[in-house]
Amino acid sequence: MATPKNKIGLYYEYQQNWENYSYGQGSLGGGGTTSPESISKYYVEPNYWVQAHWSSPVTSRLLLEAGTTFANNNWVMTPQAGNPKELPAVRELRTTTVWRNLPGTVGQNATHQYNVSGSLSYVTGSHTFKTGALLLRATSHSTRDSTGNATTLQLLDGVPSSVVVYATPLEIDEKLGTQAGIYGQDQWKIKHLALYLGLRFDYYNASVPAQHLGPGPWVPNRDVTFAEVSNVPNWKDLSPRLGAVYDLFGNGKTALKASLSRYLFGPEIITFTRLANPVGAIASNATRTWTDSNGDFIPQLSELGSLSAATFGLPNITTRYDPDVLNGFGKRSYNWEISTSVQHELFPRVAISAAYFRRWWKNLLVTQNQGVTAADFDTYCITAPADSRLPAGGGNQICGLFDVKQAKFGVIQNVITFADNFGDQREVYNGFDLNITARLPNGALLSGGTNTERMSRNTCYTLNDASLVTASAQGVTTPAGTPRSSAYCDTQPPFLTQVKLYGAYPLPWWKMQVSATVQSTPGPEILATYTARNAEIVPSLIRNLSSGPTGTATVQLIPNGTLYGDRLTQLDFRVSKTFNLGRARFQTAFDLYNLFNGNPVIAQNNTFGPAWQRPTVIQLGRLAKFGVQVNF
């Protein structure tokens, strides 16, 4: 505190994290099908945050606030120490088993973020007004390299099938020049009614600095410089937020609430700049079929088929944004949300609430490959494998699959544009909450509730045009090999419910307290990604796949939102005691997590084969922990 009317707060935090075997770290992590030498080393250092905040109650009604933050985030992923860099990793496509070295790419990512903010609040008895602004700037620098002379070997049932080659090394830069928000919000109280009115203006502008790329194992002659790319994107938006609360009986025991709000998609620095980035937009990897003619398990150029990406390693941008998506007012993806709720006091210190939420997304995006048309694809069907765990036991025909004709194989001229240009893409969330909070006699506390929700999605406008690939509101691209049929394009999963309860009770002895938490959540979604051989496809396609006679195709055997694993249930227990010793206050606690030592599956292998549905992550076993907290 500087003075009674000028308060200053400072905050600093430093984090460091090392993982010699980064199981679970995205595509570079490992699971039950990855051997230790094929898992990356992962560390985060240095990560730190510096914050400063100032506030000044100028008068009893006027409050001024301002603050600034600097954040540095840096992560690094490398192969295991001792791995020969020139030794390629090996992946078995059927079982997803990986061994011998780290596949894919590794590298470093460093981001720096700066922001400043300020606000003014004015309060009277029945009226509260606040206005303020936020300004944020950030940079991102990434490096990418790979093992095995930028090559990963792929087998199918132990037989050489293909290789994945990488156009590394790469260095990628992005810059968020300005993210600014200016807002005003007003609250009025009129008898039993409280109205909340808000309006926010947002400006978002990012760019790509000038960059240079040198040669690599599969791009030995590369030497190119890219000019700066500006306004990727350049958005302006105006978002209202309206709310009302009504005291139904005027006694403060029953409240009716309703709201309508517009929320913007909040991209990270690289979300839009990466595809507009000439370096990030390069086809950095490609697959080539591999026929190991001499049986030496070493791919020679004469044994490799065509590149799956004709522009591999070249400075041509194969994916770009429609300028209409990147520039203008109201072009940013957003969603509307309405909510209604009722809150009621059943008894003194016992309240229950029920709420309904609905969200629907707008300005959804679709990727169109303008290098091909719908006529450049042939359709085919496959017969799903027989397996009692598949819907109806498998063995059914799966149609709506497309293969590009040989003349257009590897042609990629992607344009990301609005889905509304082609049809009606719908994404809607519906959710119901029910909660109770009770402060019972003798200091007992009970709280908990349920959430039942469903996310529906319809992309059926793409059924007859394989040049279109959709992405969800969260940016998740439709999985490769998803059949274009009504069973797959209209996703209506069941309503899924999670339950959470918490209770605490102070014991009458030695100032101790016991508490417990129980939660039950839906099990993981089960998918089945199947690798179909060319021989399985030829009878329907009446030709070889465009990737060649040893080519394969990915097929999703199960529609999204139709099959889920067992529920996850966990009970945690705690005993704690608080006591004073001199001027210090001690809180001791003994915790038992997963009291009943359950082992439900959190994630499983979704690649169809011998390891299908094999757990890759299960709930941690029973864990006991003792802790002490000292306040002085």
* Exposure class string for 235-263: b at 16+ Cβ within 10 A, else e: bbbebebebebeeeeeeeeebbbebebbe
| Among 452, 458, 453, 454, CA closest to 427 | 458
pLDDT of residue 149: 87
Whether omega for the bond prior to residue 508 falls within 30 degrees of 0, making it cis, is no
Task: Tell me if 42 sits within 8 A of 28, measured CB to CB.
Answer: yes
Which single residue is written with the structure tokens 């006694």? 251
- pLDDT of amino acid 181: 97
User: Does residue 358 contact residue 428 with C-beta atoms inside 8 Å?
Assistant: yes
Q: Output the CA–CA distances (angstroms, integers) from residue 524 to 322, 412, 559, in the order listed.
A: 36, 34, 14
Alpha-carbon distance 74 to 269, whole Å?
14
Query: Buried (b) or exposed (e) across 433-468, using 16+ Cβ within 10 A?
Result: bebbbbeeeeeebeebbebebbbebbbbbbbebbbb
pLDDT for 44: 84
The domains of the chain are located at 1-254+265-326
Q: Measuring CA to CA, which residue among 589, 595, 600, 601 is closest to residue 573? A: 595
pLDDT at 1: 56
Q: Which stretches of the chain drop beneath a pLDDT of 70?
A: 1-2, 20-32, 268-270, 473-477
Tokens of 500: 């959470």
Strand partners, 565: none
Task: Give the Cβ contact number of residue 323 at 10 Å.
Answer: 14
**pLDDT for the residue 471:** 80
The pLDDT score that the predictor gives to residue 186 is 95
> What does the alpha-carbon distance between residue 403 and residue 551 come to, in Å, rounded to a whole number?
11
Structure tokens at 258: 């309703």
- pLDDT at residue number 28: 46
* Strand ranges for 224-284 from DSSP E: 224-226, 234-247, 254-264
Strands 327-329 and 377-383: unpaired
Q: Which amino acid is at 604?
A: Q
- Would you tell me how many other CB atoms lie within 10 Å of the CB of residue 608? 25
How buried is 49 (Cβ within 10 angstroms: 0-12 exposed, 13-18 middle, 19+ buried)? middle
Selection from 276, 243, 249 nearest residue 262 by Cα: 243
In angstroms, how far is the first alpha carbon of the chain from the final one? 19
Helix spans in 310-370 (H):
323-326
Q: How far is CA 270 from CA 206, 223, 491, in A?
A: 9, 24, 29
CB 217 within 8 A of CB 149: yes
Closest by CA position to 595, among listed 519, 524, 511? 519
The separation between CA 373 and the C-alpha centre of its own chain, rounded to angstroms, equals 31
Percent of the chain residues past pLDDT 90, beyond the cut: 72
